Structure 1
Amino acid sequence: MPYRHCPVWLTLLVAASLLAGCVGIPKGTSAVEPFTLDRYLGRWYEIARLDHGFEEGLDCVTATYSTRDDGGVRVVNRGVDLDEGKPDEAIGRAYFVDGEDRARLKVSFFGPFYAGYNVLALDDGYRTAIVGGPNRDYLWILARRPELPSVERDAWVSRAQAMGFDTAALVYPEQGEVCAPYRES
């Protein structure tokens, strides 16, 4: 009667394969290496993104990274729906996938489900970054300051486009003075 259990094992195998794919990296790209987590920690401002339901309509978006006691990274994403004046926050955890010297992590905001978090480009000063998910449907351009000069921003967008991302679909969230009342100190 061992065949009766085959569908259960097959289901578990397929589920494990799908979950593993969620922590992947877009084909033809590579994560930043060498990478120093301590330099990456702190607050980042979202300069541009490919929009998704979990961020749709949000401006004043920041991501703040800090260490966790278990060796992982605490992730706090914040944004504001300016039309409603309503702040939104998501707290998650991230862990390295291929060692701490390579900027390839898996991140979870709920339960045991993880997605890829890949730093695909990073300037030497750890001031601006291109982050992608497991495929080219997820892209963020982050910076240490709320706004970048247009020439600098356009150069980072061009880098993302060269990696095969659909930069024509980018959303540029508001990060100006209107965000001041929502900023944490």
Structure 2
Amino acid sequence: MRFSTLLLTVVTLGLLSACTAAKTPVSEPVKNFDAGRYMGTWYEIARMPNRFQKDLQRVTAEYRLNEDGTFEVTNRGYNSEEGEWNSVIGKAEPIDDMPASFAVTFQWPFSGGYYIAELGDDYEYAVIVGDNTDYFWLLARQPHLPRWLIDQTLARAYEWGYDIEQIIETEH
């Protein structure tokens, strides 16, 4: 009995550390990042499909800076199938020695990599990537971006290994 308890404990700790350990982003995060300028409301322009945003449109993310340097993020979207708004609140913790890199947790103890791969000069848009090519978001301060900027961003996503045919453009 003791061995099985020890084995379960070791496996559980291993899984938890794998969920929260910093991984390698798909693309290098930006070098110069000003958290204060990043705070506020962002509109999702495009994303890779994922299970937690299924059927969501009019998606926004609102970031608030906490005194300890972490962010609180509220993601909100309209579920067209259910006819209702969904929202979730998470916490983003900076990853040491990696600017513009965060471990984001919406359901403890699980976290995922959130890396700001590109930012507009005036923080008017941002490209977010994850630990692998399952996660990609194009965000903007306004609900729409010029078509040339979306196309240019998708071209870079393709270079980073994303299947851009799967990317969903968000309706607002």
Equivalent-residue separation in structure 2 for 1:9 and 1:24 (angstroms): 23
**Mapping of residues 29-48 of structure 1, within 5 Å:** 29-48=27-46
Residue type of the partner of 1:57?
D
Structure 1: gaps (5+ residues): 176-185
Secondary structure of 1:31's aligned partner: coil
Instruction: Supply the RMSD in Å over aligned alpha carbons.
Output: 2.1
| 2:23 aligned partner | 24
| Alignment of 1:66 onto 2:55 | no
Q: Is the 8 A contact 1:25 1:118 kept in 2?
A: no
Q: Is the 8 A contact 2:103 2:114 kept in 1?
A: yes
The aligned length equals: 171
Q: Is the 8 A contact 1:19 1:113 kept in 2?
A: yes
Equivalent-residue separation in structure 1 for 2:4 and 2:73 (angstroms): 43
**Mapping of residues 49-88 of structure 1, within 5 Å:** 49-88=47-86
Alignment identity in percent? 35
Which aligned segments of 4 or more residues in structure 1 are displaced greater than 4 angstroms?
2-6
**Residue range with higher mean Cα deviation, 101-110 or 6-15:** 6-15
CA offsets, 1:81-114, max 9 Å, x none?
1344300001011110025x71000111112221
Secondary structure of 2:86's aligned partner: strand
| 1:94 aligned partner | 92
Equivalent-residue separation in structure 1 for 2:55 and 2:4 (angstroms): 48
Equivalent-residue separation in structure 1 for 2:110 and 2:53 (angstroms): 18
Equivalent-residue separation in structure 1 for 2:56 and 2:143 (angstroms): 14
Residue type of the partner of 1:113?
F
Secondary structure of 1:62's aligned partner: strand
Equivalent-residue separation in structure 2 for 1:105 and 1:34 (angstroms): 15
Q: Is the 8 A contact 2:79 2:85 kept in 1?
A: yes
Secondary structure of 2:51's aligned partner: coil
Secondary structure of 1:32's aligned partner: coil
Q: Is the 8 A contact 2:42 2:61 kept in 1?
A: yes
Structure 2: gaps (5+ residues): none
